[in-house]
Amino acid sequence: MNSTPNAIKRDEKTGDPLFIDRRELRLRYEIPVKDIYPFFDGLREGRVLASKCKICLALYFPPQGSCPTCRKSDMDWVELGPTAKLLAVTKVYIKPQSFAEEEDYILGVGEFPEGVKALARLLFEGSRMPKIGTQMRIAVTKDSGENPLYVFVPTEPGSNEPAP
Amino acid sequence: MTKVAIVGAGISRFGRRTDANMNALAWESVSAALEDAGIEQKDIDFYSVGNVGVWSEENLPAVTVGEYAGLTPKGTMRVEAACATGSAAIKVARDSIASGSAKLAMAVGLEKMYGVPTPTIVELIGRAGNYFWEFENFGLTFPGYYALYASAYMAKYEAKEEDLALVAVKNHYYGSLNPFAQFQKQVSIDEVMTSKYVAHPLKLLDSSPITDGSAAVILADEETARRLTDTPVWIKGQGVASGSANLSKRSDFVSLDASVTAAKAAYSQAGIKNPVEDIDVATVHDCFTIAELMAYEDLGFVGRGKAVQLIRDEQTYKGGKIPVNLDGGLKAKGHPIGATGVGMAVEAVKQLRREAPKSRQADIRHGVALTHNVGGTGHYAYVTLYGLN
């Protein structure tokens, strides 16, 4: 007669006794976005917006609501792109738990003519890695949860350069 | 600044430690450090505990370790600087002595990463940058951060994946000579090249492992240090710097600016003019093979784009121009992220005291060792110079 769950298991590799915690912690954060809300308005309209300080004209991407140089919160919102140059790229094979259901994906950093950069998925066809220096276009698509998301795509359909 | 020396050092065996919980794991190195220094817990004025956590059971490790190790009621705090946490814990302990508030202080580094399944660890480390803009939306992983750098470095300097593999081969060779290392076996270039991609172009054997481990050092002011030991290891300089959280705000992807800034500050404090000439042995932050190559350049061991030639010529082996990671590095010794920086300090102490096994003992001519500990992908950088004089 043993009505208490036995929390102790043996490790499969070492055989050491392990107490399996019975208190599971699940976290989902609530992140305020009030100061960058125009960014999300832009995304819904298919545009990627950076914030720009009205005083010193500094451009911020990812956008932020305050300029640390001027110490003011007076921003314009300007559209980025459409073209960007690929500076760094990777393909992620070993994925985080919360991305485990997705196919292996390519991520890259693109630099816009305005000088700011963005990290985003690259939606390029084929299995070859895009070359550093490739010209890309930023576009807005939808993620698996139907939320608008910015991505990099070839400048013209089918025009991505083959990598070695 | 007041002179501060390490007077005791201890380290646990690194690896998948299913035989020890967090507190017991910390005790392994704390007890060894106390023994090495020849002091008792009551002699310690303050201790810091470097631990990143979340994947392990205790949320307040500074107090749970203190209770287990008999350090209560000494003052303490937990310190976090991602993978540079250990060096940050040393900074806090050193500063407490330099300020005059302590004569003897301990820095403990501790990480117990195998407390949760691997996909959860990948998830948590992936958040070690800017969570919202680079993880939430896109799923960037930690190997992915360094893979971005590798892609740009390889394109700019025509480095090959085989060149990265040379770093793994060297560090596994030294890991095979270190009984505290997680991987005590050599690997061949072929084994590295045929291991699976984690984040292109980085493969499994380009990557440091998930590790449980702890390390501890005891620091003292000059008077106390000279009373306790004939071979104090002085902290000659420590440069610290940070980088942007978003990788998209980095200037380029071939160098970690934070490492460059931290190294300049540390060299200036320690009077290092020519690092390759003046430093006997270095441990650098090789969480991925590309990171060791960038470190050679960021620390001024070679000029830009020349790191590949340095490893091809085997000049970072024992007996080379500047021996690097003779303990196996993060790559083979293991990378318990809160403990790594303290583990580097322990290695510097052993090397300078000429207490490393002969097969991996550097030739100590100037009595100067360097540790380079990076948090995140150059989100934090700590460069510390240790010396016998």
Task: Answer whether CATH 3.40.47.10 is correct for domain B4-116+210-228.
Answer: yes
Q: A76-123: per-residue pLDDT in tens?
A: 999 998 999 999 999 999 999 899 999 999 999 999 999 999 999 999
Residue A148 lies in a domain: yes
Check CB contact under 8 Å for A62 and B252: no
pLDDT(A163) > 50: no
Residue A4 lies in a domain: no
User: Are A85 and A155 in a shared domain?
Assistant: yes
A69/A55 Cα distance (integer angstroms): 10
B381/B225 Cα distance (integer angstroms): 27
Q: A34-62: per-residue pLDDT in tens?
A: 999 999 999 999 999 999 999 999 999 99
Residue A57 lies in a domain: yes
Question: What region, left, alpha or beta, does residue B149 occupy, with left being phi > 0 and alpha being psi -120 to 50 degrees?
Answer: alpha
Residue A1 lies in a domain: no
User: Are A123 and A69 in a shared domain?
Assistant: no
* Per-residue tokens: B176: 């095979």
| Residues in Cβ contact with A116 at an 8 Å cutoff, skipping those fewer than 6 apart | A50, A59, A60, A61, A80, B248
The pLDDT, as a whole number, for residue A144 is 78
| Angle, CA of A60, A62 and A66, to the nearest 5° | 50
* Interface mutation vs chain A, best among B17, B21, B127, B148, most A CBs within 10 Å: B148
Residue A104 lies in a domain: yes
Residue A15 lies in a domain: no
DSSP per-residue string spanning A105-162: EEEEEEE-TTS-EEEEEE---SSSPPPTT-EEEEEEEE-TTS-EEEEEEESSTT-PPP
User: Are A73 and A98 in a shared domain?
Assistant: no
Helix axes B289-298, B142-157, angle to 10 degrees: 60
Q: A122-156: per-residue pLDDT in tens?
A: 999 887 899 999 999 999 999 878 899 999 999 96
Check CB contact under 8 Å for B253 and A87: yes
Q: B44-77: per-residue pLDDT in tens?
A: 999 999 999 999 999 999 999 999 999 999 999 9
| Residues in Cβ contact with B205 at an 8 Å cutoff, skipping those fewer than 6 apart | B165, B168, B187, B191, B192, B195
Q: Which domain holds residue A123?
A: 81-159
B179/A88 Cα distance (integer angstroms): 38
Q: What three-state secondary structure class fits B149?
A: helix
ipTM, two decimals: 0.95
* CATH classification of the domain holding A120: 2.40.50
Task: Give the residue among B106, B103, B96 at the shortest CA–CA distance from B221.
Answer: B103
Residue A12 lies in a domain: no
User: Are A153 and A96 in a shared domain?
Assistant: yes
B221/B97 Cα distance (integer angstroms): 6
Residues of B with CB under 8 A from a CB of A: 16, 18-19, 57, 117, 119-120, 122-123, 126, 130, 132-135, 137-141, 143-144, 147-152, 155-156, 196-202, 246-250, 252-253
| Model confidence band, residue A3 (pLDDT cutoffs 50, 70, 90) | very low
Q: B155-185: per-residue pLDDT in tens?
A: 999 999 999 999 999 999 999 999 999 999 9
* Interface mutation vs chain A, best among B248, B290, B377, most A CBs within 10 Å: B248
Q: B276-297: per-residue pLDDT in tens?
A: 999 999 999 999 999 999 999 9
Peptide bond into A5 cis (omega under 30): no
User: Are A90 and A131 in a shared domain?
Assistant: yes
Sign of CA dihedral B117, B119, B125, B130: negative
The pLDDT, as a whole number, for residue B10 is 98
- From the CB of residue A120, how many other CB atoms can be counted at a distance below 10 Å? 25
Residue pairs spanning A and B at CB distance below 8 A: 115
* Domain limits, chain B: 4-116+210-228
Residue A106 lies in a domain: yes
> How many domains are contained in chain A?
2
**What's the rounded mean pLDDT across residues B357-370?**
98
Which 8-state DSSP code applies to residue B182? S
Task: Please identify every residue of B annotated as catalytic.
Answer: 83, 335
Question: What amino acid is encoded at B132 in this protein?
Answer: F
The pLDDT, as a whole number, for residue A6 is 78
